[in-house]
Chains A and B, each alone.
Chain A
Amino acid sequence: MMLDLAGINERLCRGLCGRVRLVERPNGRTMLETPFTFPDGDGYPVYVEPTRTGGIRLGDGGNTLMRLSYETEVDGIRRGARARLLEQVLRENGIEEDRGEFYLESSLDSVGDAVFRFGQGVTRIHDILFLNRGRVSNDFYEKLQRILKEILPPERIEEDYLEARLPAAEDYRIDYHVPRTSGDSLFVFGIANRDKARLTTIILERLLRHDIPFDSLLVFDDQQQVPRRDLARLSNVGGEMVASLDAREDLERKLRRKVA
């Protein structure tokens, strides 16, 4: 069956054009409506202003970073791998940042291209800031699991362990349990982020409160990403730490010494 190119083109133009338009709001701001949406279904807020050179400025009004802050500290994206990725996305899409607002400027002749670049750019920024965080976190836990099983016989390691002597143990799951010849336990925790640091603190405190004999080893994805106060509270109740999986030799040394 042959494609009706003219007919489809006409429908594409009508369909796409119909979904991209400027709207003047009662507050005096002009917004650009597009088919782009965040995963929660909210449309991208795109604010439109003229530039001094007769072009057009598309900006997010600071909304992208405000959304990010629902679940994390915005500072976290200003450092390390995430900051480098963000810079790359901005560069590739011709987007700039002004005090927390992402924007791009374009001539009127190129406004169609600008709309796609801006929408694509915000999507990639959002994915880096949200999904990459999740992906980085999953990669970390997978890598930790693999390394532990390379260091110790897999049958010695119990994952997602419930300490039977702990009331409501199902709410205080322990990442890894390694029984020791001394009769007590080594608990290993993977700490991917601040939330996990706090949860681990709670779990360790509960273990201590119920006088359960154990030792612990805390392995971070990146210890520097955990805020100082959370780290301090965790170090008060936890055992030895490994700052990241890059320190594999240190992890192996500490782990072997603790289970010897």
Chain B
Amino acid sequence: MSLEEITEDRIRELVSMPKKLVGTKPKSRREDRFERTDYEATGEDGRSVFRIYLRRNLEIPEDFSCGIRWMMPSGETLTLARYNGSSHVHGEIRYECHIHRATEDAIRRGWKPEKEARRTERYRTLEGSHACLLEDFHISGLSSPHDPPDMFS
């Protein structure tokens, strides 16, 4: 199956499929101005491979991101979701945390599959966004703390 053939149903399947961390707890490393962590997870079907990445700008706390990509058998990759910090705007979303998600509509239009984004209050930090990703994508073998509710927003 190629990227162009991905449907909303297939995206939902990939999201809901239980996944497990491959290997041991991932280590972070520094690259110039940011810190990166990468790891893989496999789906319960034993074949599907997902790459999860975390990035943190070491000088700008609001600039962080964590995302999950599906490594397609065709050799292409599909970013299923990316959980962004509040460092930038996205359309009408102004300096608020937001979550990009792959949609069939974006794929059909020839856009970046994850072009659609919605604002969120579920997290404020990279750790919080990672906790949301692990939960939303049913990834086991790793944990991350959710951010406590913001009492002052």
Contacts and interface: CB of A to CB of B under 8 A. Distances in A.
9 nearest CB pairs, A to B: A100-B32, A62-B33, A43-B89, A171-B73, A45-B88, A39-B112, A40-B112, A66-B34, A100-B33
Interface of chain A: mostly helix, strand, loop or mixed: loop
B105 interface: no
Contacts of A40: 82, 100, 112, 114-115, 117
Contacts of A74: 31-32
Interface centre among A39, A41, A69 (most CB of B within 10 A): A41
A128 to B, nearest CB: 17
B87 A45 contact: yes
Given A29-B60, A43-B89, A70 B73 contact: no
Interface of B: 31-34, 36, 47, 53, 55, 57, 59-63, 65, 67, 69, 71, 73-75, 77, 79, 82, 84, 87-91, 95, 100, 111-112, 114-117
A70 B88 contact: no
Contact of A99 (B32, B75, B79): B32
Interface in A60-119: 61-63, 65-66, 69-71, 74, 99-101
Contacts of B33: 61-62, 65-66, 99-101
Given A101-B33, A168-B47, A61 B60 contact: yes
B91 A199 contact: no
Given A171-B47, A196-B75, A199-B71, A42 B84 contact: yes
Given A99-B32, A173-B74, 14 more contacts: A27-B62, A39-B111, A40-B117, A47-B60, A66-B33, A66-B63, A69-B53, A70-B55, A70-B79, A100-B33, A101-B33, A171-B47, A195-B75, A196-B75
9 contacts: A40-B115, A41-B115, A45-B88, A62-B63, A63-B88, A65-B31, A65-B32, A66-B63, A171-B73
B13 to A, nearest CB: 14
Contacts, number: 100
A62 B63 CA distance: 10
Nearest to B31: A74
B55 A66 contact: yes
B74 to A, nearest CB: 7
A168 to B, nearest CB: 7
Interface string A181-216: 000000000000001100100000000000000000
Contacts of B55: 66, 69-70
Contacts of B74: 173
Contacts of B112: 39-41
Given A171-B47, A195-B77, A33 B89 contact: yes
Contacts of A168: 47
A25 B60 CA distance: 12
Contacts of A63: 57, 63, 87-88
A33 B36 CA distance: 27
A246 interface: no
B36 A69 contact: yes
A227 B24 CA distance: 21
Q: In the complex, which of the residues B61, B111, B112 has the most CB atoms of chain A within 10 Å of its own CB atom? A: B112
B111 A62 contact: no
Nearest to A198: B71
Given A61-B57, A195-B75, A43 B32 contact: no
A170 interface: yes
A220 interface: no
Contacts of B67: 70
A100 to B, nearest CB: 3
A47 B87 CA distance: 10
A176 interface: no
